[in-house]
Every structure is written in structure tokens, then in C-alpha cells.
């Protein structure tokens, strides 16, 4: 391992999910109560009144403690031998996705209650990787592991190393 983690593509977002619903509710209230003269803004306001963000509050309750999402793509090889009309499938993938949270195991358990295929996984908080069950076959096995405050899904050697490195990164 030379520690090379150069990526083709990386993206991430940091957030406090428990702050999302109050923020959206405040913005919604301000937009729906203000008096607009502009026709476009009046129309937008009517659309907003029909879409109460209270549902976001209920959903964010299931994701309490989430601090961010990240994705890194190190390499990808797509199978070019597909039939016309078929979706090209990855032949090789080296990537990592992570969900950072105060208690990633609790989030996994919540998701497992809603998705039976996840309930069959023996994911543990000790960082041991397990195969991720997928509804379709791939020529590689995506793995899932909890690394410190991070629920990770990865494939390939750089993805695995990136997931391991997350175990040393604390949430701030």
C-alpha cells in the first residue's frame, strides 16, 4: 500500500440533519406569509403553501445524528460488451461511499427494520467488513463496514483503504 488515494471524482456534504427541519420550516413560514407583488413569486408562494415541510421533520427524526455524506470514485471500468438496449454494467469498481453519524449502528438498525435484505447482514460496530447484498449480480463484491463514526460501502483496494482511514476521523 503506497497510500495513493487520488480520485477521479469526489463529492461530499456536511450537515446536521436535526437542524434541517427547523431551517426549512422557518424558510417555508417566511415565504408563505410574505406579501408579494410579482406574479411569479405569488405563484411560487401558492405552490409552497401546498407543500408543508413537516414531513421532512418526521424523516429527519429517523436520521438523527447524521453529519454528512461522501463519495469517492478512484477507478471504474465499464463492460463494453453489452447487448443493444442493455444498461452497461461496471466490470471493475474502486470507490467508497460513507455516511457520517454520531451513531452509525443505530442508523443501520433503523434502515434494517425497513429493508429486510439489510437485516440479514451481520454488520458490527467493530469495523469488520461484510458483503453488501445486492438485487443484481456484479463481477465484484461491494463491502459494508462501520469505521468509527462512519458507515462505509466500498469496493476495490483504494475504496477499502479510504474506508479504513475514516475510522481515524472523528466527527466535529
- Prediction pTM value: 0.77
Instruction: Report H helices in the chain.
Output: 17-33, 39-49, 54-61, 104-114, 116-119, 157-166
For residues 133, 110, 154 and 92, what is the CA-based torsion angle, rounded to 10 degrees?
A: 40
Place 4 in a pLDDT band, splitting at 50, 70 and 90.
low
> What is the number of other CB atoms lying within 10 angstroms of the CB of residue 92?
14
Q: What percent of the chain has pLDDT over 70?
A: 97
Place 62 in a pLDDT band, splitting at 50, 70 and 90.
confident
Residue entry with cell 497510500: 3
> What is the number of other CB atoms lying within 10 angstroms of the CB of residue 103?
16
25 within 8 A of 16, measured Cβ to Cβ: no
Amino acid at each position: 500500500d503506497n497510500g495513493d488515494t487520488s480520485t477521479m471524482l469526489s463529492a461530499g456534504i456536511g450537515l446536521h440533519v436535526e437542524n434541517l427541519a427547523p431551517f426549512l420550516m422557518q424558510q417555508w413560514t417566511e415565504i408563505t406569509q410574505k406579501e408579494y407583488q410579482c406574479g411569479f413569486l405569488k405563484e411560487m408562494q401558492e405552490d409552497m403553501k401546498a407543500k408543508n415541510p413537516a414531513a421532512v421533520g418526521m424523516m429527519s427524526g429517523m436520521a438523527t445524528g447524521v453529519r454528512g455524506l461522501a463519495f469517492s470514485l478512484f477507478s471504474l471500468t465499464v463492460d463494453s460488451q453489452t447487448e443493444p438496449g442493455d444498461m452497461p454494467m461496471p466490470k471493475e469498481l474502486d470507490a467508497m461511499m460513507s455516511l457520517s453519524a454520531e451513531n452509525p449502528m443505530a442508523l443501520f438498525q433503523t434502515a434494517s427494520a425497513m429493508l429486510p435484505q439489510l437485516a440479514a447482514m451481520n454488520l458490527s460496530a467493530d469495523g469488520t467488513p461484510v458483503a453488501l447484498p445486492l438485487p443484481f449480480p456484479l463481477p465484484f463484491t461491494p463491502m459494508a463496514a462501520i469505521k468509527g463514526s462512519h458507515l462505509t460501502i466500498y469496493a476495490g483496494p483504494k475504496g477499502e483503504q479510504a474506508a479504513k482511514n475514516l475510522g481515524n476521523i472523528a466527527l466535529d
